[in-house]
Amino acid sequence: MSVRVLPWFIILLAFLLNATAQAAPLPVPAPPALDAKSYILMDFDSGEVLAEREPDNPVEPASITKMMTAYILYSELEAGHIGIDDEVTISEKAWRMQGSRMFVEAGKKVSVADLLKGMIIQSGNDATVALAEHVAGTESAFVDMMNATAQSLGMRQTNYKNVTGWPAEGHTSTARDIAILGRALIRDFPEHYKRYSEKEFTFNDISQYNRNKLLWRDETVDGIKTGHTESAGYCLVASAERNEMRLISVVLGTKSDKARTQQSQALLNYGFRFFETHKLYAAGQKLIDARAWYGEKEEVGLGPKEDIYITVPRGQYDQLKAEMEVETQLEAPLEKGVVLGEVLVYLNDELKIKKPLVTLEAIPEGGLWTRARDSVLKMLD
């Protein structure tokens, strides 16, 4: 048997070509085609939208409305305005609510803890109204709180008419606004968010299962909320975390429970397969020193006020480039937290992130000698 020996430069060329082919980033295909009125897929940390269709089209949110009801309840709990062990007297209005129910009884007392589970796990309209009345006195007053909170979170195209999602003229939201709310719910109340992964709740000897079927199908899914009315169709807001990357999907207006589950799963799988999220800089991390004229210290550190994350197509993290633009004529005194520059992050020459840089410490004005010296140096600079 004879062996053919190739020249060394041909072997080296073949090796380099093979290495280059293996290192080539994976192309990102189009997102899966979903049979839904609208949808969006958003990264939790960066807020980057990875897929969307009609994300700003106003639709009926059905019981997804209860995400906002819960957000306000968590705010009230954290502020100490209500307690988790408070006993809530069930009103006749709450008891008479139609649709999905927890089956509370008028005049009976039920704890806030149980009502929260009834609202989140069982999607009980009766529990939701009872909680709203406990916080605000009336459902209408609570609705005012919901709309004010929506505006503060940047949900510009959302308008609530009730706390449950029961069909009502003008009760609308969008896939984008719902994703914004999902991010806020997880970010602001991580401990309360854990309730959304509970699969079953029993009250008054009646056991009901969480309607989010993804909790059984995908162990990385831990929320968030289903919704359904005849006019809204079948809706699902889902969130999953894999390898320290969390995604939020919103799928609105599908034709069945099975469809909303399968399409949400497909959307999440797409995001995790073709994208990756990285923490670029931590809040308060010094990225650059800037000259501080006339100060007790000659330099002041600048960094981001908040954590900075970026989501990029898988395999393209090494292609990122960062630049910093800083004001050059900084004069003491300087307060902490003043915006004095920007960090710019590019991917293949496309600007992906533009975030402010702030002073990380206060720089008091220096003494007479320092100011006199810097006056001369600044003229020579």
Q: What is the 3-state secondary structure (H, E, C) of 167-214?
A: CCCCCEECHHHHHHHHHHHHHHCHHHHHHHHCCEEEECCEEEECCCCH
Q: Which of 38, 46, 100, 123 is catalytic?
A: 123
Is-catalytic flag, 66?
A: yes
Cα gap 378→294, rounded to integer Å = 10
CA distance 87 to 112: 6
The residue from 37, 38, 46, 63 that is catalytic is 63
Given 66, 161, 213, 225, the catalytic residue: 66
Nearest-angstrom CA–CA distance, 174 and 58? 5
Other C-beta atoms closer than 10 Å to the C-beta of 373 total 14
Specify whether 63 is catalytic. Answer: yes
**What pairing do the DSSP bridges indicate for beta strands 245-254 and 320-326?**
unpaired
Verify whether residue 355 is a known catalytic residue.
Answer: no
Q: What are phi and psi of 4, to 5 degrees?
A: -90, 125
Which burial class, exposed, middle or buried, applies to 120 when counting CB atoms under 10 A from its CB (0-12, 13-18, 19+)? buried
Q: Give the separation between CA 11 and CA 17, rounded to whole angstroms.
A: 10
Active centre residues (catalytic): 63, 66, 123
